[in-house]
Structure formats: C-alpha cells, structure tokens
Chains A and B, each alone.
Chain A
Amino acid sequence: MNSISTDICIIGAGPVGLFAVFEAGLLKLRCHVVDALPQVGGQLSEIYPKKPIYDIPGFPDILAGDLVRNLMRQIEPFHPTFTLGERVERFAKLEDGSFQLFTSDGTEILCKAIAIAGGLGSFEPRKPAIESLESFESGKGVYYMVRDPETFRDQRLVIAGGGDSALDWTIFLADVAKEVTLVHRGTTFRGAADSAEKVKALHEAGKARLVLSSNVTHVHGNGKLNSVTITANDGTAETLDVDSFIPLFGLTPKLGPIEDWGLELEDNAVKVNTVDYSTSVPGIFAIGDINTYPGKLKLILCGFHEAALMCQGAFKYINPDKKYVLKYTTVNGVPTL
C-alpha cells in the first residue's frame, strides 16, 4: 500500500485547494493534495478552461486555465505532493489528534490536519445506460478514464463519445492499440474542430474507424468483456469483438463520500466556523465551494480568503503551543519549507 505522511492533507486540487498550499507554505506547513480528477484545477480545468475570469484581484482578465497554471507556479517553492485520479473515501482520527485518510485506490495519507477543498464534490464519469456495464468495470474491460495508455497496447478498442476526450484519445490510441473504433451518436462533434478533422483523416487512412449516428447499446462477455453491440440510429446493429470499451461522456460532480463523514452539513455543504473555517470535527477544515456559512459566496476570491484563515486555524491545531506571528511576504519574500 502506498503511504504518504504530511502536515496538511488537502482534498481537492481546485483553485482554493491549490492556494491553500501557498498559505500553508508561508507557515512552513507541508501539504499533500488529492484529487479524483487526473489533472489539477477543479471546475476551472474541467468545465471552463478557455473562459476568461474577470474578478481575480490584479488580473483584469485571465483565462481559467492560465489561473490554474499561475497557481501551480506560485506553490512551486513549497514542493507540494499530489495524488491525482484517486478519490478520498474515508478517514480515521488517531489518538494523538492526527488523521489517516484512504483513497479509492488504497493510498494511505497520514496527516496532522485535513482541509476539505472539495468544491462541488468529486467529478465522476457519466455512465451510459447499458445493461451489465458495471460488471465489466474494475479492470474487466470497461474504462471511464484513460489513466495509462499502455493498458490498451495492442488491444481492440471501442471509444464512445463526441467531446474532446473521445476525439483526443482516439487520435492518441490509434498509435497504441491494434484497432480503434470511435462511436458517436451524432454527426457533429463538440470537441475541437481540428481534432474532429484528424479523426476523420485517420478513418480515411484506415488507422481508426469512425461510426457516426450510432450508440454502443450492449456489452458482452463472461467475467471479461469480449464484444460490444453498436446500434445505428436507423436500427441496424453490428457486434464487434473488443478487448476494452471506453465510454467518454464527460464528468458530473457528486458530493460523494464526504457526505458520510459525520460532519455537520447544510444543503449538501459543510458547515464551518468563519473564524478559521473549522468544521464540527476538530482538525478538519472546509474551504471553497464545499462549505457554507451565513453570507457564503461561491467565488474563487472568497475561497482564497478562506484558505488564508484556515491555515492559521490548522497551524494552531497542529502546534497548540507555538505562537504565530504574521509576516508580510514583502518583508521576507516567499520562504521555502
């Protein structure tokens, strides 16, 4: 089992979780960040990377994706560590007041305080309504994300979807897999126009197959996937031998396991004390979109403010006997850990 030890474990690599790393670093607290998504940035990377944001102080406008890149640069001096593509499932509080966290892939994180920056919850794949699909999950032939393209080397693949991920992975995996078929229910693509052109070119060159106006409607196999049925909008169907089926229909957020952690909740959000954004469990803090208090605004700016105050609270929880003295970064620069 992979085990990590740190001062603060931050759940969620959205803008608020990332900025919390900076604020913690100023107090010389080490951070480990966990996110269910394979990339950092939360909603900014997942939903609107190319949209400009206008209400970040000091930036009259900045693209969401660029803000995430800047936040990553800003926290570099503190060398945070990351576990991406894994969801935090449960926690245990140890006798000395520290915590043990476990992720969906069994990673263990030992930490002195927890900062939940889980936003809208963890983004989970949207699953098509195909009977018995779930029985082929967990390595048995159905994958909702491509974590390691090598998993698919020399395989026969069917990818489904019409967005950027479906197009991008079709292009990439055409070189890795033995056969790739992209099935899309429509005739136009939501993804980037040049990616759609590339997929069409691969199809014409015989390097990938493109099946439009169709859906994957059935999956077959015994313990392991061995074929899928593709049904066209006009009702004609074909069954194709495959090793893996990768439905890529985007992600949808779910509050998920944090809901069952025994924290005081209100309207699906974690109630906090605005002095330090502590929750009803000492040592666990909640910042950003996931928390609630009178007057709460779900804005990045407000999450940044909460991160700064939260770190003071976490510092006191971790070091009950140490006195904290505020130091301006203009005086000392950015310290390293």
Chain B
Amino acid sequence: MTDEVRVYVEEAPGQRTEVVGPTDMGLNLMELLKASGYDIQATCGGMALCGTCHIEVLAGPDLDEPGDDEMAMLESLPILSPGSRLSCQIRITERIDGLVLRLMPQTA
C-alpha cells in the first residue's frame, strides 16, 4: 500500500512536472491539480456538468472506463482526443500512480 501517488503534468512536449497526491483523502485529480496551482476552472465543482476540468491522458496505467455522465459530457466538448478525460471523475488512488497528462484548452 502506498499513501502517495505521483502524476506528471506535461506543460510542453517533453517538459513534465511531478505532482504528488495523497491517496487517503478521497480527492479527485481535478482537486489535486487545482490545489497544485494549475489553472483549472472546475465550474461545477466536480459533478461532470461543466467540462472545464478536461485533461488528456498521455501515458501511464490503464484507468477505469469513463462512466455515462463523464462520456456524455466529453462528447459535448468541441475538442476531444482519444485520451480525453474529466479530471474530476478520476479518484486519487494507487491505480493512477505514474499517470502522464496535459490540461486541455477550453476553446480553440
């Protein structure tokens, strides 16, 4: 059991910043990224209602498939990539250790 996980935020190609998050606080990835100073609006506070916490998973462990609400929200966004996820729907557990992600722009 590990009580910390590491995720990596790619700010530019090849430029990654490590973010360390606790697994015992019931946080989600949006909350961790926000708390680490990333510019994520998260207007709906993590309810899969706004899409403003959109990220792209670039590498790392396999995650659970998105749920129906997450999938529906993702499909309504104008920019979508095969690795698109809502960071508020991803729980900080040891399963996400090593995830590499980038924040997705809100508009073109």
B108 touches A47 (CB 8 A): no
A303 close to B (CB within 8 Å): no
**Which of B44, B76, B107 has a CB less than 8 Å from the CB of A127?**
B107
Report the minimal beta-carbon distance from B86 to chain A, rounded to whole angstroms. 13
Question: A residues within 8 A CB of B51?
Answer: 126, 250, 252
- Bound together, the chains give a CA A308 to CA B79 distance in angstroms of 42
Question: A residues within 8 A CB of B52?
Answer: 252
Report the minimal beta-carbon distance from A50 to chain B, rounded to whole angstroms. 10
Contact A48:B78 (CB < 8 A) given known A43-B43, A253-B41:
no
Contact A249:B78 (CB < 8 A) given known A47-B49, A126-B107, A130-B108:
yes
B80 close to A (CB within 8 Å): yes
Report the minimal beta-carbon distance from B35 to chain A, rounded to whole angstroms. 14
B43 touches A128 (CB 8 A): no
A129 touches B79 (CB 8 A): yes
A207 close to B (CB within 8 Å): no
B43 touches A120 (CB 8 A): yes
Give B35-55 interface residues, CB cut-off 8 Å to A: 41, 43-44, 47, 49-52
B72 close to A (CB within 8 Å): yes
B20 close to A (CB within 8 Å): no
B18 close to A (CB within 8 Å): no
A257 close to B (CB within 8 Å): no
Question: B residues within 8 A CB of A249?
Answer: 76-78
A-B CB pair tally, cutoff 8 Å: 62
Question: B residues within 8 A CB of A184?
Answer: 75
Closest to B105 in A: A129
Closest to B108 in A: A129
Question: B residues within 8 A CB of A43?
Answer: 43
- Bound together, the chains give a CA A126 to CA B80 distance in angstroms of 13
Contact A48:B49 (CB < 8 A) given known A128-B79, A190-B72:
yes
Question: A residues within 8 A CB of B73?
Answer: 190
**Which of A126, A188, A253 has a CB less than 8 Å from the CB of B72?**
A188
B75 touches A188 (CB 8 A): yes
Range of interface residues on chain B? 20 to 34
Interface string of B47-70 (1 = CB under 8 A from A): 101111000000000000000000
Contact A47:B43 (CB < 8 A) given known A250-B51, A252-B52, A252-B106:
yes
- Bound together, the chains give a CA A126 to CA B49 distance in angstroms of 14
Report the minimal beta-carbon distance from A324 to chain B, rounded to whole angstroms. 37
Interface string of A99-125 (1 = CB under 8 A from B): 000000000000000000000100011
**Which of A47, A120, A163 has a CB less than 8 Å from the CB of B76?**
A163
A12 close to B (CB within 8 Å): no
Report the minimal beta-carbon distance from A257 to chain B, rounded to whole angstroms. 17
Question: B residues within 8 A CB of A128?
Answer: 78-79, 108
- Bound together, the chains give a CA A213 to CA B43 distance in angstroms of 28
Report the minimal beta-carbon distance from B39 to chain A, rounded to whole angstroms. 10
Closest to A216 in B: B78
A133 close to B (CB within 8 Å): yes
A335 close to B (CB within 8 Å): no
Report the minimal beta-carbon distance from B82 to chain A, rounded to whole angstroms. 11
Question: B residues within 8 A CB of A163?
Answer: 76
- Bound together, the chains give a CA A253 to CA B50 distance in angstroms of 10
- Bound together, the chains give a CA A124 to CA B41 distance in angstroms of 14
Question: A residues within 8 A CB of B43?
Answer: 43, 47, 120, 252-253
Closest to A252 in B: B106
A77 close to B (CB within 8 Å): no
Closest to A119 in B: B43
Interface string of A241-257 (1 = CB under 8 A from B): 00000010110110000
> Shortest 5 CB-CB distances between A and B: which pairs?
A128-B78, A129-B108, A190-B72, A186-B75, A249-B78
Chain A residues engaging chain B, CB cutoff 8 angstroms: 43, 47-48, 120, 124-130, 133, 161-163, 184-186, 188-190, 247, 249-250, 252-253
Q: List 16 A-B contacts (CB under 8 A).
A: A43-B43, A47-B44, A124-B107, A125-B107, A126-B107, A127-B78, A127-B108, A161-B76, A185-B75, A186-B71, A188-B72, A189-B72, A190-B73, A190-B75, A190-B76, A252-B51
